[in-house]
Amino acid sequence: MVRTPLNTSERRAFVNTRLFDPARQLDEAGGILIEDGVIKWMGAAVTRASLPEGTNITDVKGALLVPGLIDMRVFTGEPGSEHRETLQTASRAAAAGGVTSIVIQPNTQPVMDDASIIDFVRRRAQDTADVRIYPMAAITQDLAGQKMTEFGLLKEAGAVAVTDAVHSVRNSKVLSRAMRYAGNFNLLLVQHVEDGDLAGGVMHSGESATRLGLPGIPAAAELIALERDIRLVEMTGARYHAAQISCAASLDVIRHAKDRGLPVSCGVSINHLTLNEHDIGAYRTFFKLSPPLRREDDRKALVAGVADGTIDVIVSSHDPQDADTKRVPFSEAAFGAIGLETLLSAGLSLVHSGQLPLERLVEAMTDAPARLLGIQGGCLEQGGNADLAIVDVAAPWLVDADLLKSASRNTTFETRAFEGRVKETIVGGHSVYKLSDH
C-alpha cells in the first residue's frame, strides 16, 4: 500500500536526535539505524562513532524523532473526483505533515462497498502513493443506510474498518445488525455521529448563527445519535468508534460508556481542538465543517478530553473541496477542509500554549489509531517498519495555501503562523519528504 523505494537496502541513520515514543515511554537523546526498511538499532548508544562504516548518517541537531503519524479520517477524490484530490496528491500532503499512514473514507465514486473497489484502491495506492494507504469500507451499500455490505469479503480485500463516512446509519435495526456482523470479523465500526433529521443547518446553533442569519446545527443532533449508538453497543458488544465528537456533552457520554467497560472509542479533528464558531467570521466557507465548529467552551472541553484520554485519537478530517464548491454563499458551500499537512503543526500549537502534553498529542496521532485499527506502525521498535518523522518543534512557518501539497486549497489555517514543522518523513526506510523540497 505504498510504493516500493528504489533502494531499500541502504543503511541510514539519524543521530543527535530526541527519540520520542509515548507507546514505549521513550524520551531520550540518541539515534536510530535503519536497514532494509526496518529499524535495526536505536537508543543513546547510536552515535556517529558507533555506526558501521558506510552508513548514510544525518545529524538532525536535536530535532524530535517520532513514529510516523497515522490519520484515521482522510477523504480523497479518487476514484471518481480526481480534480479534488488523488491518492498521490493526498499522500504527498500527508508526507509533508509527517503522516506515514492514511485511512481513507469510502464515499468515493463508486463507493467502496465492494471488494473489487477496495482491491482497486489498494493497487492504485501501490502504484502512486508515497505513504501507506488503508481503506475503510462502507457499512451499507451505496452509503444508503439500508442494506449491509459483505464485511468478510471487504476485510479480506484489505478494509481495516467499516463506516458510512459522512453519513450516520439512521435505521437502528440495520445498525444493530451491522454491529453484530462486524463483531464476527473483529472489525471496528466507525460512525459519523449526527442525527441528520435534527441537524439540517450549516453551523453551530447559537448566538453566532443567529447574528449571521444562518440555520444552526444543535449539539443535540450529535448527542442523540451518540447515545443511541452506545445503547446498541450495549446490546451487541460491538467495537465502536465515534469518528469525530465536537461538544462537551458528548464527552460525558463517552466517559460513562468507558467506565462501564464498553468497547467504545472516539476521535476529534484538529480543527475542533484549535478553532471555534467565531472563526467563521464573515461567512468564511473554509470553516464550514461537519460536525460544525462549536463554542469555545466546547473546544476547551475537547482539549481536556484528549489530555485525560477520554478522546482516543486526533484526526485531520482532510476533506478537499474545489473552488467551485467553496467560493459560493456560506449556506450553499460544501462542508470540509484540508488538513493533512497542518495536522501536527496545529497540534503543537496546543503543546506550546500549555493546553496539551506532548506525550498525549503524539500518542493520539500514532499508537492509538494503530491499536484501534490493528495495523502496523505507531511506535518505534527494533525490527519494526521504519516509518518516522523528524520534527523541529520550534521552527516558525506561515501557512501559504498555494504552497501546500494537496490538490485543493481549502485550509482553515491559511496565513496562520505555527511553531513546529516536519523536516523529513521516512516510510519503510525511504525518505518521502524533506523540508528543502517544499
Q: Lowest-pLDDT range, 4-18, 121-135, 349-363?
A: 4-18
Sign for the pseudo-dihedral over CA of 225, 226, 229, 231? negative
Contact 91, 46 (CB under 8 A): no
Q: What is the mean pLDDT of the chain?
A: 96
- pLDDT on residue 3: 53
- pLDDT on residue 26: 97
In a domain, 60, yes or no: no
- Grid cell for residue 360: 498525549
- pLDDT on residue 154: 98
* 264 has pLDDT over 90: yes
Query: In angstroms, rounded to a whole number, what is the distance separating the alpha carbons of residues 35 and 153?
Result: 35
Q: What is the CATH number of the domain that holds 225?
A: 3.20.20.140
- pLDDT on residue 9: 52
* Tens digit of each residue's pLDDT (9 = 90 or more) over 221-242: 999 999 999 999 999 999 999 9
Query: In angstroms, rounded to a whole number, what is the distance separating the alpha carbons of residues 165 and 169?
Result: 10
Q: Which pairs with CB-CB distance under 8 Å and at least 24 residues apart come from 180-184? A: 180/236, 180/238, 181/148, 181/151, 182/151, 182/238, 182/239, 183/236, 183/237, 183/238, 183/239, 184/151, 184/152
In a domain, 229, yes or no: yes
Number of domains forming the structure of the chain: 1
The amino acid that residue 255 corresponds to is R
Query: In angstroms, rounded to a whole number, what is the distance separating the alpha carbons of residues 241 and 264?
Result: 6
In a domain, 155, yes or no: yes
- pLDDT on residue 10: 79
* 2 has pLDDT over 60: no
Q: Summarize the confidence of residues 280-290 as an average pLDDT.
A: 96
- pLDDT on residue 5: 44
* 6 has pLDDT over 70: no
Using alpha carbons, select from 185, 163, 186 the residue that is nearest to residue 113.
Answer: 163
Give the length of the chain: 438
Q: Summarize the confidence of residues 137-148 as an average pLDDT.
A: 98
pTM of the model: 0.96
Q: Summarize the confidence of residues 115-136 as an average pLDDT.
A: 97
Pairing between strand 313-315 and 264-269?
parallel
* Tens digit of each residue's pLDDT (9 = 90 or more) over 326-378: 999 999 999 999 999 999 999 999 999 999 999 999 999 999 999 999 999 99
* Tens digit of each residue's pLDDT (9 = 90 or more) over 145-201: 999 999 999 999 999 999 999 999 999 999 999 999 999 999 999 999 999 999 999
Query: In angstroms, rounded to a whole number, what is the distance separating the alpha carbons of residues 158 and 153?
Result: 9
* 63 has pLDDT over 70: yes
| Percent of the chain residues topping a pLDDT of 70 | 97
In a domain, 416, yes or no: no
pLDDT band, residue 281 (cuts 50/70/90): very high
In a domain, 52, yes or no: no
* Tens digit of each residue's pLDDT (9 = 90 or more) over 394-428: 999 999 999 999 999 999 999 999 999 999 999 99
In a domain, 353, yes or no: yes
Host domain of residue 328: 68-373
* 4 has pLDDT over 60: no
- pLDDT on residue 1: 54
In a domain, 72, yes or no: yes
3-state secondary structure labels for all residues of the chain: CCCCCCCCCCCEEEEEEEEEEHHHCEEEEEEEEEECCEEEEEECCCCCCCCCCCCEEEECCCCEEEECEEEEEECCCCCCCCCCCCHHHHHHHHHHCCEEEEEECCCCCCCCCCHHHHHHHHHHHHHHCCCEEEECECCEHHHCCCCECCHHHHHHHCCCEEECCCCCCCCHHHHHHHHHHHHHCCCEEEECCCCHHHHCCCEECCHHHHHHCCCEECHHHHHHHHHHHHHHHHHHCCCEEECCCCCHHHHHHHHHHHHCCCCEEEEEEHHHHHCCHHHHCCCCHHHCCCCCCCCHHHHHHHHHHHHCCCCCEEECCECCCCHHHHCCCHHHCCCCEECCCCHHHHHHHHHHCCCCCHHHHHHHHCHHHHHHHCCCCCCCCCCCECCEEEEEEEEEEECCHHHCCCCCCCECCCCCEEEEEEEEEEECCEEEEEHHHC
Beta partners for 203?
216
In a domain, 207, yes or no: yes
Chain-centroid distance of CA 102 in Å reads 7
Q: Summarize the confidence of residues 210-226 as an average pLDDT.
A: 97
- pLDDT on residue 436: 79
